[in-house]
């Protein structure tokens, strides 16, 4: 199994970000009839809603297709360290760890440059591997 470079990961992330952005625009239509700017509870509800929609997108694709559309385009597959398909639990852990990796100024992703196995922080935490098809 061949490890995935940070550039291939980045290309996949950019592709998937565009898809998620388009989905979030469509999924935000129910909020158009409300005054979101003046209501903090509605703002929080909308943020949680967007987070859950985004999480569902990634988790569903990782578990059911072993990769998102961006990952498939760049010939990347996600598996457990033992070679099996990942479970919903691991996918949720991986998603939330990836959010954390981004929030710490991307350092969770940058550690892959210095590791021989090219794993990011969220790969290590969730015990998953990205492999080239």
Residue 51 resides in a domain? yes
- 31 within some domain: yes
- By percentage, how much of the chain surpasses pLDDT 90? 80
Q: What average pLDDT does the chain have?
A: 93
Model confidence at 1: pLDDT above 80 = no
pLDDT per position as a tens digit, 98-122 = 999 999 999 999 999 999 999 999 9
Which residue segment(s) compose the domain that 73 sits in? 6-132
Note whether residue 1 is domain-resident. Answer: no
- DSSP H helical segments within 1-133, as ranges? 6-27, 40-65, 69-73, 88-103, 107-110, 121-126
CA of residue 53 relative to chain centroid, distance:
11
Taking CA atoms, 126 is separated from 57, 89, 95, 122, in Å, by 18, 9, 9, 6
Distance CA 40, CA 92 (A): 27
125 domain-assigned: yes
17 has pLDDT over 80:
yes
Instruction: Tell me whether residue 15 is exposed, middle or buried, using C-beta atoms within 10 angstroms of its C-beta: 0 to 12, 13 to 18, 19 or more.
Output: middle
pLDDT band at 16 (very low <50, low <70, confident <90, very high): very high
Contact 131, 76 (CB under 8 A): yes
Instruction: State pTM to two decimals.
Output: 0.91
Number of folded domains that form the chain? 1
Mind listing the pLDDT tens digit for each residue in 60-79?
Answer: 999 999 999 999 999 999 99
Task: Give the pLDDT confidence score for residue 105 in this predicted structure.
Answer: 92
């Amino acid at each position: 199994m061949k490890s995935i470079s940070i550039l291939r990961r980045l290309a996949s992330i950019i592709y998937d970000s565009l898809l998620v952005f388009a989905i979030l625009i469509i999924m935000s239509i129910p909020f158009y009839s409300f005054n979101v700017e003046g209501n903090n509870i509605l703002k929080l509800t909308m943020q949680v809603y967007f987070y859950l929609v985004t999480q569902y997108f990634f988790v569903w694709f990782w578990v059911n297709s072993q990769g998102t559309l961006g990952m498939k385009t760049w010939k990347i597959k996600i598996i457990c360290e033992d070679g099996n398909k990942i479970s919903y639990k691991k996918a949720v852990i991986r998603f939330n760890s990836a959010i954390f990796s981004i929030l710490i100024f991307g350092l969770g992703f940058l550690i892959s440059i210095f590791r021989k196995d090219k794993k990011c922080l969220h790969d290590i935490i969730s015990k998953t591997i990205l492999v080239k098809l």
